Amino acid sequence: MVEWLLEPLGYAFMQRGLLAAVVVGVVCALVGVFMMLRGMAFMGEALGHAVLPGLAIGYLASGGNRTITFFWALGTAILTSVVMGALSRTTKLRQDTAIGIVFAGMFALGIALISSIRSYAVDLTHMLFGNILGVTNGDMWMVLAASAAVILALVLFYKELTVIAFDPVLAVTLRLPVRGLDILLHVMIAVAIVVSLQTVGVALVVAMLLTPAATAFMLTKQLKRMMVIAALVAAFSGVAGLYASYYLNIASGAAIVLACTTVFVLVYIFRGRERSKVALQQKSPAG
Amino acid sequence: MQTPQGIHCSEHQAPFAVELREVNVHYGSTLALADFSLTIEHGVRVAVVGPNGAGKSTFFNLVSGLLNPTHGTVKVHGHNPGQYLCLAYVTQASQLDLNFPVNVWDVAMMGRMGKLGLLHRPGAADRALVHSSLERVGMLEFATRQIGELSGGQRQRLLIARALVQEAELLLLDEPFAGLDVPAQEQILKILDDVQAQGVTVLLATHDLELAAEHFDRVLLINRRCIAYGVAQEVLTPANLSAAYGGHMQVINTAEGRVLVGDSGGHHEHGTEGSHG
């Protein structure tokens, strides 16, 4: 058993992959808790897909330099969230409609760009579905720095982000800088998405954001505990997924997401149904 | 006192707690409030009444600074409401996410966040204030309970405790009695007595005209405009009520007193002056 666990660690690419999977998983889970509580699941899904043109342009402009590509993707994600917000504010469109329009358009632009440069398609496929075993030392430092920044921002603004998520009207009457904190949350989501592109890729990133948070939500009624549990679920799933990928020879991003989903399903079977039954009983009497 | 977060308690320097001058509010092309002028004295308890869609929530959104008027000015303790901090707004309880992972203590502590400032953590004084506020509304024993596990009345008491933690000088309550039974309503009225004794101005929206007449110093009757403001006997007159409720309510004078007969909604019309038809 010990040998079975140690064998993959003999490879430097596996060491880096495991570290990346754990760090990225934890960051996504923590940001994902606020995303879930704010009901922003669709926004996360959309932002994940909308970075594709940024990746393609960054890749083309830099000739494959990953740092430059990272900032193109990040800039695209932030720009997209600003455009989505502006579109639903300046028209009568519901926010989910605005998100849908922008996200599909951006994703199509990304595919169009990729299709024009077939020779790069393999690397860009890695960005769609992740290529955690291709994480370099340079990538690792960038992931660590970006993750540290997100976690620091979460610690500093934890109480304000909590108030806005729970009661936006209270946040306004407390005269909190709601607009600025909303932008901060969007930027944190964008960073979390971009750092997870190498581990799970554009197509599956929403699972990294939501599944650990939803799993933790079924297990506790305290926000801080929920964040710790979500982080643990994500870290465990990152490691378990990567081992599964190593031994079963399946795609690493998909394996990590499936590990998350498995934990979610197990928790649902043993805890989730019980809790939701209680919630239903409380809601049923009128008033 | 001016801080980066806003203006703190003003020691009642301004002549009025709330002042609206010729306020108009448009939502797109619809006029939600028209030519609305009103002054509310410090320390009174005001029932805000009017039919559904009369603009009660719009009025509260204006006073709390959530909404800016299209025309006119709104002042709270002489300040722009958007800068004023000693104001608490308890929205309709149905707007809260009851599955949110917070307990009673956490929710009360949220009232402190405005004065704490960014990057500061609650200290002993903040915890003492949360403790005493929960105690005053009788919710201390439920401090560790998740908000979804509370009854409607307990939830309202918690939200009032949160307003106490905010050190509110002006308390806005939007339909706090909706869905509550009589004992729970009485409990809240008793807490409001306590709050008012401390000098807090209370504005409370309700559908219950009888309650408004019995338990409030002033009644504000609105329907898109300010129809009348003053003591209940002067405000709840047949002329004013038919102006506010129009075809939805009939006012009949009988030997025993005045009787109101509602013909819409059905669940919230009551007689005034203790008599029922």
Cβ within 8 Å of A, B 168-197: 178-181
pLDDT beyond 70 at A225: yes
Q: Is the pLDDT of residue B3 over 70?
A: no
In this prediction, residue B274 carries a pLDDT of: 37
User: What whole-number distance in Å separates Cα of residue B134 and Cα of residue A281?
Assistant: 27
Residues 70-109 of B with CB under 8 A from A: 82-83, 85, 87-89, 91, 95-103, 106-107
Confidence of residue A13 (pLDDT cuts 50, 70, 90): confident
**A175 and B82: CB-CB below 8 Å?**
yes
C-beta of residue A199 within 8 angstroms of C-beta of residue A252? yes
The one-letter amino acid code at B220 reads L
Asked whether the beta carbons of residue A221 and residue B180 sit closer than 8 angstroms, the reply is no
The nearest CA of chain A is from the CA of B194 a distance in Å of 23
Closest Cα in chain A to B117:
A176
* Identity of the residue in B83, B91, B114 whose CB atom sits nearest the CB atom of A169: B91
Q: Give the tens place of pLDDT for each residue, A46-105.
A: 998 899 899 888 888 887 777 888 889 899 988 998 888 788 778 878 888 888 999 899
> Whole-angstrom Cα distance, residue A213 to residue A225?
11
- In chain A, the residue whose alpha carbon lies closest to the alpha carbon of B146 is A221
Radius of gyration, CA atoms only, chain A: 19
Q: Is the Cβ pair A165, B102 closer than 8 Å?
A: no
Question: Which run of H or of E encompasses A181?
Answer: helix A178-195
DSSP string, B63-128: HHTSS--SEEEEEETTB-GGGB-SEEEE--GGGS-TTSS-BHHHHHHHTTHHHH-TTPPP-HHHHH
Spatial contact of B168 and B199, defined as CB atoms under 8 Å apart: no
CB contact under 8 A, B64 and A172: yes
Residue A262 identity (one-letter amino acid): T
Considering only the beta carbons, identify the residue of B89, B148, B181 that sits closest to A169: B89
pLDDT above 60: residue A163: yes
Signed CA dihedral, A81, A165, B82, B121: sign only: negative
From residue B23, give the alpha-carbon distance in Å to each of A192, B20, B53, B92, B213: 45, 6, 17, 24, 26
CA pair distance B254, B257, nearest whole angstrom: 5
Please choose, from the candidates A28, A65, A64, the residue with its C-alpha nearest in 3D space to the C-alpha of residue A47. Answer: A28
Amino acid present at B145: R
Nearest chain A alpha carbon to B94: A287
Q: For A61-65, A179-183, B214-218, B219-223, which range has the lowest pLDDT when averaged over its residues?
A: A61-65
Do A166 and B110 count as a contact with CB atoms less than 8 A apart?
yes
Give the residue from A228, A199, A175, A193 showing the smallest Cα distance to A35.
A193
